A and B are shown apart, each in its own frame.
Chain A
Amino acid sequence: MHPAPSIIFFTVLSGIGLGMIFCLGLGLGPEDALFAWVASILGLGLSAVGGAASTAHLGRPDRAWRAFSQWRSSWLSREACLMVACLAAFGLYAAIWTLFGLRLAVLGWLASGLAAATVYATAMIYAQLGTVPRWSATPTPQLFLAFGLVGGMLATETAAQLSGPSGAVGHGWLLVALLGAAGMMVAWTTDAAGAGRRSTGSDMGTATGLGRMGIVRALEAPHTGRNYLLDEMAYRVARRRAYQLRLLGAGLAFGLPTLVLGLSVVLGGLDFGLLMLVVLAAHTAGMLAFRWLFFAEAEHIQALYYGIR
């Protein structure tokens, strides 16, 4: 599948932002006025920037508002509705928190629940597509939720470290979350490796109905040039470097953060203000690499008609 940069940035940034809203809504973080401002702006900003980026891949962005109408049937519509509801709830929570120093627990829980539901809806947009078995035959919702949670925890901790001496999450818990998300990634990747197009039972024989007569082979393509179907759903450019990208993603998203936080637990009492920012940046970069692969490695069954992957 074509890895549109706008969708990759949207899902990664809004994933971290929504994870942060989830943590803040649960009341994590120190009672500190500066933290309230830094955390609220970062959480809202990441989610909103991500949401805005998602409109960049639309053919008609001026009609994006119509996506709020089909929540009864469409996961993409549900995601849009939940995202706006979450931002509204957390926006109100953040306004009361920053201006009056009051963290309304019930409103926070509402924002947390909406944040988790938004990430789930995002994942279901992909997980619902039986045409892309790498997304639908794998624990994609669990993967997105795990990534959102660990990204949110890291971002919340970063905001706390930057705005004061006290942390928000505790580095032991961060380590647990990092290892848990890394484990989820390994589990998902293992499942995905077995979720080729054959796993759907479809091949060129069933696609053309000619399989009952013998072995089917594409003899002539319907067009000599490229087209939307091939550009969008038979994208092959980045797969050559999949191994290197996966290694880079694992090192940046999980390796470096685990190392730094592990040192913090072992040595204790280190000043992690700026270092946490580096950790968060590395984690985000690693996530971008993983998300690129999520699209670039996914194979669509319609390409069976062309006899290519």
Chain B
Amino acid sequence: MTSLPQSTQRKMGLVIDLDICVGCHACAVSCKEWNTGGYGAALSDQGAYGEDPAGSWLNRIHTYEVRPDTGPAKVVHFPKSCLHCEDAPCVTVCPTGASYKRVEDGIVLVNEDHCMGCGLCAWACPYGAREMDLAAGVMKKCTLCVDRIYNDNIPEEDRIPACVRACPAGARHFGDLGDADSAVSRLVADRGGMDLMPEQGTKPVNKYLPPRSRDEAAAVLGPDLTALAEPEATGFLGWLDRALERIG
């Protein structure tokens, strides 16, 4: 049934810290690895070793430059995956009933046994979070590692999404964003967690923590190096400098 639930019991999702992410792509690689062997059809590649390799990924790491009004520009690494929106437009457009949002935890999933691969859900998503698997002919998307987080057969510390488990910088957090007392909710409140494209009205569950301000940017960049490049001339050199300046 592709109608959205009125509300979900929990809102499981990710909080991604843009201040910490170093852009190593470990989360994307780990995601690809887990989701190729886990739930649903394998994430296929087309011509992986050829001239024009392509393939389906559920997580893509963009890198942006942000230029403020004053001060140096900042580089921000930006992992992007499904935001498990509360008002997910991808779900309601689905003609087959393959796309759905779970009532118990709010995870948006694709039933790959029902999907006919029309691609309309990918068109409806403002974030580019869904990619067709060209080998299986069905739509793929982030499952929030639904086959890990409830999996009693793996060690408890592994019962989090593969991307969160893999992140070496601790930039990714997983938890219930519907519970105001959860660690992720407190993190969002403390750091001013934000929605992506709020104007699209999708109400994303995943939140992004903005980079912290760098008031101490000068200290980070070290001492003023121009003073070293052009030292104040004294003595004979000082006299020469002044004499040359008079010549014009």
Contacts and interface: CB of A to CB of B under 8 A. Distances in A.
Contact of A76 (B64, B74, B80, B95): B95
A302 B93 contact: no
Given A214-B67, A228-B56, A228-B134, A305 B128 contact: yes
A75 B94 CA distance: 9
B96 A69 contact: yes
A212 interface: yes
A227 B95 contact: no
> Which of the four size classes fits the interface of chain B?
35 or more
B139 to A, nearest CB: 8
B5 interface: no
Given A74-B93, A132-B123, A208 B196 contact: yes
Interface stretch (B6-14, B110-118, B147-155, B164-172): B110-118
> Which of the four size classes fits the interface of chain A?
35 or more
A75 B116 CA distance: 15
Interface string B70-82: 0001111010100
A73 B96 contact: no
A305 B199 CA distance: 15
A74 B76 CA distance: 38
Given A226-B52, A227-B54, A301 B197 contact: yes
Given A1-B123, A63-B115, A64-B116, A219 B75 contact: yes
A207 B119 CA distance: 22
28 contacts: A58-B116, A58-B117, A59-B117, A60-B115, A63-B96, A66-B97, A69-B95, A76-B120, A128-B93, A130-B200, A202-B199, A208-B76, A213-B211, A214-B74, A216-B66, A217-B66, A218-B65, A219-B64, A219-B75, A222-B28, A227-B54, A227-B56, A228-B56, A228-B132, A228-B134, A229-B131, A301-B197, A302-B126
Interface of A: 1, 57-61, 63-64, 66-67, 69-70, 72-77, 80, 125, 128-132, 200-202, 204, 206-210, 212-223, 225-229, 232-233, 300-303, 305-306
